[in-house]
Amino acid sequence: MHISVLSKEVLQGLSLSESDIVVDCTINGGGHSALISKQLGDQGILIGIDLDANALSVSRERLSAATCRVILKEGNYARLDEFLSEEHIEKADKYLFDLGLSSQQLDSSMRGFSFRFDEPLLMTFVPSPGSGDLTAREIVNDWEEESIADIIFGYGEERFARHIASKIVEARKKKTIETTGELVSIIKSATPHWYQHKRKHFATKTFQALRITVNNEMENVKEGVRKAIARTNEKGRVVVITFHSIEDRIVKNIFKEAAKDGEGVIITKKPIQPADSEIRENPRARSAKLRIFEKA
């Protein structure tokens, strides 16, 4: 079961009032939103956004007893301004972005997010990708070797990016790369023996880079967080949880720019990280960082 990270810190950071309009930009299975809904009264509004229709179904069931008004929107959080306008809401009071993958997406999506299962090489959050939707299969089979190496190094910070890209191109000349299992074998052939026995799995960084590229995650983070700040009421807050150093750097810089421009203040001079007790209970929380911005 997916365990929402930094739950206590999220609630403290949001500083909720009963009548708040709250936007959970990555509602997923509704873990954080279930806690948020308990602090909202019947005048409060909770808007949940997710690309994953299955996640929204889980959230709808989980929030069925909420006393606040619940609105669920299927789509990317980069479109949050559109979703607010559809509900005739100009600005919200609080925003939450939890940028981590859920356990369900990793373990049971059948979309190839995890190197632990042999699944179709998709890695897209789009439920039923069509011909115009980018997938990891297209990247590894059609992109130039240099481009593959660039994303694995840039988004995965993988030291063996060039070797991995070379082995991918070599392998696809023999047959199309179709599954995560095939890709893991290729990555293994491109990395030294000692690298394959480190605590972090040797395919982690490559899979991360492909997923980020397929879903245009970094640009969405920039767009979504900037739009949230622009459409936050006075003294409202934007809370962001990242799990990746590049994402965290993006959020940190957006908050700095907004503060410099007089839009508000950064509440967290340093990011809040999980306590050792939470990491022991939920190892996936270990890389989480939470940052808070308050609108002027």
Q: What is the pLDDT of residues 56-90, one digit of tens each?
A: 999 999 999 999 999 999 999 999 999 999 999 99
Residue 172: pLDDT over 80: yes
pLDDT at 45: 98
Rounded to an integer, the average pLDDT of 37-59 is 93
**What is the C-alpha to C-alpha distance for residues 11 and 41, in angstroms, rounded to an integer?**
15
**What is the C-alpha to C-alpha distance for residues 291 and 251, in angstroms, rounded to an integer?**
8
Encode pLDDT of 228-278 as tens digits: 999 999 999 999 999 989 999 999 999 999 999 999 999 999 999 999 999
The label of the residue with tokens 């980069």 reads: 78
**What is the C-alpha to C-alpha distance for residues 271 and 259, in angstroms, rounded to an integer?**
16
Can you give the residue ranges of every domain in the chain? 7-104+217-295, 126-214
What number of other Cβ atoms are within 10 A of residue 73's Cβ? 21
Are the CB atoms for 140 and 172 separated by under 8 Å?
A: yes
Are the CB atoms for 111 and 126 separated by under 8 Å?
A: no
What number of residues does the chain have? 296
Residue 179: pLDDT over 80: yes
Backbone phi and psi for residue 48, each to the nearest 5 degrees, phi listed first:
-110, 130
Residue 1: pLDDT over 60: no
Rounded to an integer, the average pLDDT of 161-178 is 98
7-104+217-295 and 126-214 share one CATH topology? Answer: no
pLDDT at 111: 82
**What is the C-alpha to C-alpha distance for residues 128 and 64, in angstroms, rounded to an integer?**
26
pLDDT at 65: 94
Residue 205: pLDDT over 70: yes
pLDDT at 20: 98
The label of the residue with tokens 């995890």 reads: 114
Average pLDDT over the chain, rounded to an integer = 94
Domain 7-104+217-295, what fold? Answer: Rossmann fold (3.40.50)
For the CA atoms of 97, 103, 107, 109, what is the dihedral angle to 10 degrees? -40
pLDDT at 3: 75
**What is the C-alpha to C-alpha distance for residues 22 and 174, in angstroms, rounded to an integer?**
52
pLDDT at 126: 77
**What is the C-alpha to C-alpha distance for residues 216 and 95, in angstroms, rounded to an integer?**
21
Tell me the pTM: 0.91
Encode pLDDT of 93-122 as tens digits: 999 999 987 656 566 567 888 898 899 999
Identify the band that residue 216 occupies on the pLDDT scale cut at 50, 70 and 90.
very high
Percent of the chain, pLDDT > 70? 96
pLDDT at 210: 97
Q: In what order do the strands lie in the sheet with 21-24?
A: 69-74, 45-50, 21-24, 92-98, 232-242, 289-295, 264-266
Are the CB atoms for 102 and 114 separated by under 8 Å?
A: no
> CATH says 126-214 is which class?
mainly alpha
3-state secondary structure of 231: coil
Please give the C-alpha separations between residue 220 and each of 148, 181, 246, 253, 270, in angstroms, as whole numbers. 21, 29, 13, 15, 23
For the CA atoms of 133, 46, 275, 241, what is the dihedral angle to 10 degrees? 40
Identify the band that residue 131 occupies on the pLDDT scale cut at 50, 70 and 90.
confident
pLDDT at 2: 61
Rounded to an integer, the average pLDDT of 172-184 is 97
E strand residue ranges, the chain: 21-24, 45-50, 69-74, 92-98, 232-242, 264-266, 289-295
Identify the band that residue 280 occupies on the pLDDT scale cut at 50, 70 and 90.
very high
Tokens (6 digits) for 139: 């990247």
Q: Which residue has the higher pLDDT, 2 or 215?
A: 215
